Amino acid sequence: MTDLTLTLDQVEALATETLVSAGASRQQAASVARSTRLAERDGVRSHGLMYIPIYAEHLRCGKVLGAAVPTVTRPRPGAIHVDAAHGFAHAAIDSGWPEFDAAVREQGVAAMAVSRSYNCGVLGHHAERLAESGLVGLCFTNAPASMAPIGGTKAVIGTNPFALAVPDGSGGARLVIDQSASAIAKSEIILRARKGEPIEPGWALDAAGHPTEDAEAALAGSMLPVGGQKGFGMGLMVEIFAAALSGGNLGMEASPFSGPKGGPPGTGQFFIGFDPAAFSDDGFGAAMTRLTEAITSQEGARLPGARRAANRARIERGGVTVDATLMDRIKAA
C-alpha cells in the first residue's frame, strides 16, 4: 500500500468513523475528530491520526467510555465544572464551553474545571479557541506520571503542559504558547519509537536512571523536565490546577494514556478565560502590539505559535500525507 494524501475534511471523517466503529458515540467521536483535524492542520502529527488507533483501543478496553455524557454545573458565577464521566476530554470541554464563554464575558474572568477526563489533544488549540473569540486563555492539563523530581527516581507528575493564547483583535490569536514541563512531549517519543528513530539527548532517562537516546528505553524510564528544577516546578503548578483543583486524578494515580492496562485515567483540565475589556480599554491591545513587534522586528526571531501557523497555510493547500503503515493501523482499529 502506498502513502495517501488526505484533505482535512477526509482526516476528520476518517477519525470520526474509526472512533464510532470502535464504540464512541457521535458526540464523543465528533469532538475528537475535530481535534485530530486541527492537529494535522498544524503539523502536530504526534496528536493527529497517529492517536486514532490508540483511542480506538482504549474505547474497546474500557479506558475511555464511548457512551459517556458529560455533566455541566455552575456552582458559582465564575466557576464551571464539567464531569467528563470517563469519556473523551474533547467532548467534555465542548459541552462546558458555551457556559464557560458566557461566564467569562459576564464576570470578566472565569474558570472551567474538567474532571474524570482523558487526553485533551493539543492544549494550545483550547487556548486559541478563547483567543479567537477575543479572550485571553490560560489552560492546564495533567497526565499520568512520567517525570521524577530532580534527585528522585520515582515518577510523580506527568509531562503536564500549559498553554496561553492572546487575541489579535481580528478573530485570531496573536500568539500561542503551548509547552510541557518535560523537555519534549511524550507523544513525540512514542512517535519516534513507532518509527524506530532515536530521540534527542536530554529528553529522557532509561529505567535505570541513565540518559538515553533510545525511544523504547525512554518509554520504559522517565521523562526529563525542561530546565531542571524549574521545569519540574512548572509541572507541579499544572498538577495543582488540572488535578487537585479540578478534582481529577493526580498523575501518580492515573493509568497510562498508552496501552490497555488499567481503567480510565481520570485526569483533569483547567481553563481560565480573561476578557481584556474588563481590565483595560484599548491598553491591552496596544501593549501586545508593542510587545510582539519588539520580537518580530528582530531578524530570525518569531512569536510562539508562528511555526504552527506556517504549517497551517501549507497543509490547508496541500493536504495531509498519511503513510501506509499508519493507514493500516487505522483500518485495523
Residue-wise pLDDT for 37-59, tens only, equals 999 999 999 899 999 999 999 99
Query: Catalytic site residue 188?
Result: yes
Residue 212 lies in a domain: no
Catalytic residue among 12, 35, 40, 46: 46
The pLDDT of residue 319 is 96
Mean pLDDT (whole number) for 297-319: 94
**Beta-sheet strands, E only, within the chain:** 4-6, 71-76, 79-83, 109-117, 136-141, 162-167, 173-179, 204-205, 211-212, 222-223, 267-274, 320-322
The pLDDT of residue 100 is 98
Span 160-200, pLDDT tens digits: 999 999 999 999 999 999 999 998 878 788 889 988 999 99
Percentage of the chain surpassing pLDDT 70?
100
- Given a cut of 90, whether residue 151 has pLDDT beyond it is no
Please give the order of strands across the beta sheet that includes 222-223. 211-212, 204-205, 222-223
Domain CATH code at residue 8: 3.30.1370.60
Catalytic residue among 47, 58, 86, 90: 47
> Which grid cell is 195?
518509527
Residue 318's domain comprises 4-182+225-293+305-332
Query: Catalytic site residue 21?
Result: no
The pLDDT of residue 1 is 63
Give the count of beta carbons closer than 10 Å to the beta carbon of residue 316. Answer: 12
Span 86-130, pLDDT tens digits: 999 999 999 999 999 999 999 999 999 999 999 999 999 999 999
Residue 29 lies in a domain: yes
Span 213-258, pLDDT tens digits: 999 999 888 899 999 999 999 999 999 999 999 999 999 999 999 8
pLDDT band of 63, cuts 50, 70, 90: very high
Query: Catalytic site residue 106?
Result: no
Residue 220 lies in a domain: no
Residue 134 lies in a domain: yes
Domain count for the chain: 1
Distance of alpha carbon 118 from alpha carbon 27, whole angstroms? 16
pTM of the predicted model as reported, rounded to 2 decimal places = 0.93
Residue 195 lies in a domain: no
Torsion angle in degrees (nearest 10) through CA of 290, 295, 299, 304: -140
Residue 199 lies in a domain: no
The pLDDT of residue 135 is 98
Residue 68 lies in a domain: yes
Residue 100 lies in a domain: yes
Distance of alpha carbon 281 from alpha carbon 96, whole angstroms? 28
The pLDDT of residue 39 is 97
Please, what is the average pLDDT of the chain?
94
The pLDDT of residue 29 is 98
Distance of alpha carbon 44 from alpha carbon 64, whole angstroms? 23
Catalytic residue among 126, 188, 246, 255: 188
